[in-house]
Structure 1
Amino acid sequence: MYSIDVILVKHFFPPQEAGIYSAAALVAKVIFFALMPISQAMFPKIAELKIKKESYSGIFLKSVFMVAGLSAIATAVYLLAPGFVLNLLFGPAYNAAIPLIGLFGLAISLLSVSYVFINYFLASGKTKFSYIMPAFAVVEAVLIWFWHASLFQTVSIIAVTMGAMLLASMANFFFIREKTSV
């Protein structure tokens, strides 16, 4: 999920296009790595509260809303000023990646919110759903393998896959809430 797309793009596209894609991917992943500490801080707190049999839904919801809110802001910046964002890291040499930045930012934002859910499931001992990320990584790789007419199509596949993973994570969360107290 983290880099299989870059490997497949390198396989299917000429080196120059693969470089453009790699630049866009790196710019987008800034969102994920900037927000990852929120999930990492949430994890031990939820695990501790679970052991104490105390409610941990507040910490989880704060984490989700914080990551979703910051992701929304980052995605808006990526959509409204993709050239600015790209040039901060790479300068004008990679301007061909500008059309990919906004959608890639959205895709990685969806991944970032999913990551909060996945960490919640693991921290709270609800591990039956832990296969979600590897399963969607396989789906993403298969879709890119068969549909890679353009770099934009590849990023679109990632965005759809990340959106589906977030929806599956949310559905699982609400299903768990119905069965147990959080």
Structure 2
Amino acid sequence: MLSIFRTGFWLILLSNCSNIFNYVQMIMISRFLTKTDFSIFTSVTATGIVITSFLSVVPSVYVLVFNSNELDEVKKNETISQLNRFVFAGSIVFFLMVFVFSFPISIMLNISTPFPMLIYSVCLLNSLILQIFVGHCLISGRYKLIQVQVFILTLTKLTLTFFLFTVYGNNLYYVFYTEFIATLVSIIFLFKIIGSLDFSSKFKIKSVKFFFIKSIPIGITLFISGVLLSSDLILAKHLFSPILAADYSVASNLGKIAFFVSGAISGVVFAITKGEASQGNGTLKILILATIAAFLCGGVVIFSSLFFPGEIISMLFGSKFLSSQDLFQVLSFSMTILSVNVVVFNYLLAMNQLKYIKYALILMLFYMLIAISGVIDSPNDLSYLVAVLMVSLLLSNIFCLMREFQMSGLKKV
């Protein structure tokens, strides 16, 4: 019990330190770069999050193979080897697609040159290859090693960004260079500890097809979460001037504190709920506690945005972003609701009740259609649209939960 507590303590500590490093780097970038360059950075990285969110399912596929009762040890090792081949080859193909589409994506984001997106596509390749090593960490139970890797990644980005900005001046491309170097350092770090990966087994699509199909609901849920978290930054860059897009980016990133503070909560809901349900125990208490925790964490951010918006923005991002105050208030509310929605997503996924996926995709489609229809004239309009989307999702999730409880008859609470 003491070892579990100690491991949990270190995981939470490393995770929070990594989040702090990410936010410090974001603050540094916003202060050093012009508003135009900052809007380019946030929109490019947001695009990367959206298009790779589904692929974050890769480590889960490794876990599914490792925990499969249908495979003996020899077959598991062969399948993992084939999975290594498939993911590596898929990462190369995906990189080439993103590289080619960097040109139309840049046009869509109103960026005059495709180079930021081209450089970032290489960073995405590193990130996808990194997922292979993360998958191997999961199946070997090295959870602390994953957080150490994230800690090294974020610390490397922060220190390199500071070094390049202070020594060589303020340049947008330095941010992408540090991203590339940091992901490469993470790969080398895990490679040194885990060792070389096994690619010896002859690739057979049938061997891994079953596990990828089984992981589709997880992948779609990750995609939905990625779109909800970052698509507004892409829309802001597409719809508005660089100055307004930068103001929106600052407000959005401040609002996302509410999401990331409770991120650790939503992350464990799936595992705990799955475990309790498999033993026939009640799961409602898990949902209630996680939802309350998400609301409380977000409530602190909402309170701060209502009573100290100017002070927070000025202290963190500088006075040039004070025009983001109203946006900060709306988006902190939206991101709090998003954190609750993600808790419910993970709960329903664990209970194998997947209707929420259909409702979420439909609502997101309407959201996108409205956003690009021409009725959104200002960042405030976009922030209100995001809020309406999050509340609509919450209502649809409540409906899904009511159906789940009716089906289960609340026999186990």
Class of the TM-score when normalised by the shorter of the 2 chains: over 0.9
Q: 2:328 aligns with which of 101, 125, 141?
A: 101
Deviates more, 1:98-107 or 1:68-77: 68-77
Q: Distance in 1 between matches of 2:364 and 2:406?
A: 28
Q: Could you tell me which of 271, 281, 301 is aligned with 1:74?
A: 301
Amino acid aligned to 2:387: A
Residue matched to 1:153: 381
* Residue-by-residue CA offset, 1:103-161 (whole Å, 9 max, x unaligned): 11111111111111111001122123233443333222222212211111110000011
1:114 aligns with 2:327: no
- What is the rounded CA distance, in whole Å, between the counterparts of 2:393 and 2:361 in structure 1? 10
SS of the aligned residue for 1:10 comes to helix
Residues 1:20 and 2:247 are matched in the alignment: yes
Q: Deviations over 1:24-71 (max 9, x none)?
A: 111111111111110112221111111111111111111011111222
The one-letter code sitting in structure 1 at the alignment partner of 2:406 is: E
Match in the other structure for 2:231: 4
Q: Say which is worse superposed, 149-158 or 79-88, in terms of deviation.
A: 79-88
Q: Which stretch of structure 1 is more off in the superposition, 109-118 or 72-81? A: 72-81
Matches within 5 A, 1:138-177: 138-146=365-373, 147-177=375-405
Cα distance in 1, alignment partners of residues 396 and 318 from structure 2: 37
User: Which of 237, 240, 263 pairs up with 1:36?
Assistant: 263
Contact 1:103 1:156 in 2 (8 A): yes
Instruction: Establish whether residue 179 from structure 1 lines up as the match of residue 407 from structure 2.
Output: yes
Q: Tell me how far apart the structure 1 counterparts of residues 276 and 322 of structure 2 sit (CA, whole Å).
A: 47
Which range moved further: 159-168 or 169-178? 169-178
Provide the secondary structure at the position in 1 that maps to 2:229.
coil
Higher relative contact order (CA 8 A, sep 6+): 1
- Of all paired residues, the percent bearing the same amino acid is 23
Q: Is the alpha carbon distance of 1:152 and 1:122 closer, same or farther for their aligned partners in structure 2, counting shifts above 3 Å?
A: same
User: In structure 1, what is the Cα distance between the partners aligned to 2:367 and 2:394?
Assistant: 14
Seen in structure 2, the aligned counterparts of structure 1 residues 138 and 89 have a Cα distance that, compared at 3 Å, is: farther
| Equivalent-residue separation in structure 2 for 1:132 and 1:32 (angstroms) | 21
Q: Could you list the runs of 4 or more consecutive aligned residues of structure 1 that deviate by over 4 angstroms after TM superposition? A: none
Give 5+ residue unaligned stretches, structure 1: none
> Secondary structure at 2:318's aligned position in 1?
helix
1:171 and 1:49 map into 2 onto residues whose CA distance is 22
Structure 1 residue 17 displacement after superposition: 0.7
Find the aligned partners of 1:86 and 1:171 in 2 and give their Cα distance. 37
Q: Equivalent residue for 2:221?
A: none
* Corresponding pairs, count: 182
- Mapped partners of 2:316, 2:363: distance in 1: 29
Amino acid at match of 1:121: L
CA shift digits 1:86-106 (9 cap, x unpaired): 234312121111121101111
Which amino acid in structure 1 is aligned with residue 308 of structure 2?
A
Aligned partners of 1:140 and 1:161 also within 8 Å = yes
> Within 2, Cα distance between the matches of 1:116 and 1:88?
31
TM-score when scaled to structure 2? 0.42
Residue 21 of structure 1 contacts residue 97 of structure 1 at CA under 8 Å; is this kept in 2? yes
TM-score by length of 1: 0.92
> Counterpart amino acid of 1:128?
K
1:5–1:144 Cα contact (<8 Å) kept: no
2:345 maps to amino acid: I
Which is greater in Rg? 2
In the alignment, what sits opposite 1:128? 355
94-103 or 134-143: which moved more? 134-143
The alpha carbon displacement at 1:177 in A equals 0.8
Aligned counterparts of 2:306 and 2:401: Cα–Cα separation in 1: 29
Q: 1:132 to 1:29 in 2, by over 3 A?
A: farther
Gaps of 5+ in 2: 1-227
Is residue 47–residue 124 contact of structure 1 (8 Å, CA) maintained in 2? Answer: yes
